[in-house]
Amino acid sequence: MDGAHGTALQLQQLPPASSADPVSEASFSYKENLIGALLAIFGHLVVSIALNLQKYCHIRLAGSKDPRAYFKTKTWWLGLFLMLLGELGVFASYAFAPLSLIVPLSAVSVIASAIIGIIFIKEKWKPKDFLRRYILSFVGCGLAIVGTYLLVTFAPNSHEKMTGENIIRHLVSWPFLLYMLVEIILFCLLLYFYKERNANNIVVILLLVALLGSMTVVTVKAVAGMLVLSIQGNLQLDYPIFYVMFVCMVATAIYQAAFLGQASQMYDSSLIASVGYILSTTVAITAGAIFYLDFLGEDVLHVCMFALGCLIAFLGVFLITRNRKKAIPFEPYISMDAMPDEGAG
């Protein structure tokens, strides 16, 4: 017990006081951040391609009498395989990089979907008309890329082994318990107004999604980190907290999907994408900062530049999605289960 307690205390120090070579330690942190960021970018990009492939199948078979005809096409199954591969990449990324870095990178899905959507358009445009029609998408993509660069460059470098003891220690810390109390009260109030008072405002619904999503990403990081440690030989699967986190991860993800489905019946997918991205990212970063202490020990400049990266990415996503419903003529034929920018999360 004394040894475990000493290890936990040592892990709390950021940067580790026992580090003999601070430069190599910092280099290792940046390397892990880069691995996590690349995995997340790869995952979101592949998921976006996968969902657009499946969307393409649905469009081509829209007039078919068999509602499940797309199951018989190779393209749809290729999309499913790529989706699973992409989701695996995003899941693995949480084991390497701080939650606050991985969550905003879902903007990659929006960028990729905008570019793929333009490629799918069959209409012929003169260069001038084409530029005028898609100027918002181009500007939005540029801003989102700049924001993503700032996020990766100025992301927090807090790295901690996701052992069962560390997860439990974070779970019972008073800042997180206070945060959970506030979140539960807010969630119950929003749910009451949504169900009993018919408050169907998109912000209400997507705030419910964001609150659930913050718990999803917190548990995903715990589960992914413990699995990676177990694969490396430090078995963590004998801790009950692993299964608690796994159940919470699945449950919150299912309820998230349910609320998103309800939102899709009332609002345009582009509006859901932009508002959902902004709310979910903001709440998830807050949860990560409180649970995993992502920004502990970071200097003010890095935190401000990271926040600036988030704001620029938010603006980029807003501009992309604002232009999308006019830009993609086949969008009205697409159901929410094939929405390209809600793939990972």
Interval 210-219: pLDDT, tens: 999 999 999 9
In the block, which residue shows the tokens 């976006």?
A: 48
Q: Global pTM? A: 0.79
User: Does the structure show a pLDDT above 70 at 278?
Assistant: yes
Distance in angstroms (rounded) separating the CA atoms of residues 37 and 270: 25
DSSP state of 105: G
Q: Is it the case that residue 342 has pLDDT exceeding 80?
A: no
Longest Cα–Cα distance of the chain, Å, equals: 73
Instruction: Output 232 or 4, whichever has higher pLDDT.
Output: 232
Residues 41 and 148: their CA atoms lie apart, in Å, by 10
Mean pLDDT, range 94-122, rounded to an integer = 84
Asked if 81 and 128 touch (Cβ cutoff 8 Å), the reply is: no
Contact 198, 75 (CB under 8 A): no
pLDDT of residue 8: 46
Q: What distance in Å separates the CA atoms of residue 214 and residue 140, rounded to the nearest whole number? A: 25
- For residue range 77-101, list pLDDT tens digits in order: 898 899 999 999 999 999 999 999 9
Q: Which residue has the higher pLDDT, 9 or 143?
A: 143
pLDDT in tens, 175-230: 999 999 999 999 999 999 998 888 889 999 999 999 999 999 999 999 999 999 99
CB-based burial of residue 307 (10 Å sphere; 0-12 exposed, 13-18 middle, 19+ buried)?
middle
Q: How confident is the model at residue 345 (pLDDT cuts 50, 70, 90)?
A: very low
Closest to 140 (Cα-Cα) out of 322, 341, 330? 322
Q: Is 74 a residue whose pLDDT tops 80?
A: yes
Q: Quick check: 261 pLDDT over 70?
A: yes
Q: Of 111, 105, 104, which is closest to residue 140 (Cα–Cα)?
A: 111
Task: Spell out the alpha helix ranges (H) of the chain.
Answer: 2-12, 22-60, 74-93, 99-102, 107-120, 127-153, 164-171, 174-195, 202-231, 240-264, 269-291, 300-327
pLDDT at 233 over 60: yes
pLDDT for position 144: 93
**Under DSSP, is residue 323 helix (H, G, I), strand (E, B) or coil?**
helix
- Mean pLDDT over 45-53 rounds to 88
